[in-house]
Amino acid sequence: MRRMVLVLVLLIAGGARAADEKKPNWGYFDTPKLPSGWRVHDINRPRPPVVTPGAKSGAAPSDAIVLFDGTDLSNWVGTKQDNPKKKKYNPTGAALWKVENGYLECAPTGSIMTKQTFGDCQFHIEWQTANPRQGASQNAGNSGVFMMNRYETQVLDNYENRTYADGMAGCVYGQTPPMVNACRKPGEWQSYDIIFQAPRFEGETLVSPAYVTVLLNGVLVQHKTEILGPTSHKKRTAYKAHGKDVIALQDHDNNTRFRNIWIRELDLMKDDSKPE
Ligand code: MG
């Protein structure tokens, strides 16, 4: 009898696991292991606790380059796609996202990129996901800020919306979950302040990885987190040498909105401790 119960329990557990495997947005069992010991998008990695953020976020300081002030996309380009049979047909490569009421809204025309390239920086952006929520898990308000067109800080409607920990808002996607879940409700404006230290290369050799610090709605969610390589899905990646590059906002087929985007260029590896 005891043996039968054990077999039954194992069968149920196996069935639950099989059912979970059919919901890949909740996580995975079969992806490569990270140095932390967790798998990429590990379904069993604990979700960070919830913190309710305060009410306000920030305006641009005097030395900032304003990338979007609510009026136009003159500082941005789009993703060229000159095959009319493709879903994201965009023959000119212009930034085709919608601008209205002081915000820009992702349109299914491909990701948009800054015209200017950047390295180390402090970056501010505000974002809003649809209310009511459309889709679930990774399909709810998904976008992302890609520093140097490679390293994503995830944008996602993560308010009471379960997904894998390293895919949550404020994560280094596929690598490091946010320290807490500081998301506001769908339809509320949220903010990111991202301090990004670019990777350094000597020739083809990596001499210093990228690091990122992120505040979500004023709450620290990443603290000088080492970035392990360019962002990917279900994979680990390795650095390849590159110089300054554009910042991209991801088109993930969700109508996420953005406003008040500014950047301060920095040199975070400059040694100011001694006279010249
Ligand atoms: Mg994303």
Region 65-265: CATH code: 2.60.120.560
Give the residues across from 106 on adjacent strands.
Answer: none
Domain boundaries, the chain: 1-47, 65-265
Rounded distance, CA 71 to CA 68, Å? 7
Closest CA to 131 of 250, 257, 253, 218: 257
Identity of the residue numbered 5: V
CA of 96 to the centre of ligand 1 (A): 19
Coil/strand/helix, residue 16: helix
This prediction's pTM: 0.86
CA of 144 to the centre of ligand 1 (A): 4
Residue by residue, what is the 3-state secondary structure of 119-173? CCEEEEEEEECCCCCCCCHHHCCCEEEEECCCEEEEECCCCCCCCCHHHCCCCEC
CA of 125 to the centre of ligand 1 (A): 15
Return the residue matching tokens 């505040």.
215
- Which residues neighbour ligand 1 (ion) by CB within 5 Å? 142, 144, 154, 250
pLDDT score recorded for residue 86: 92
CA of 251 to the centre of ligand 1 (A): 8
CA of 93 to the centre of ligand 1 (A): 21
pLDDT score recorded for residue 55: 74
**Quick count: other Cβ atoms within 10 Å of Cβ 43?**
19
Rounded distance, CA 89 to CA 85, Å? 7
Spell out the per-residue pLDDT of the chain, length 276, in tens: 555 554 554 444 444 455 444 555 789 999 999 999 999 999 999 999 998 877 766 889 899 999 999 999 999 999 999 999 999 999 999 999 999 999 999 999 999 999 999 999 999 999 999 999 999 999 999 999 999 999 999 999 999 999 999 999 999 999 999 999 999 999 999 999 999 999 999 999 999 999 999 999 999 999 999 999 999 999 999 999 999 999 999 999 999 999 999 999 999 998 766 676
CA of 155 to the centre of ligand 1 (A): 6
CA of 139 to the centre of ligand 1 (A): 9
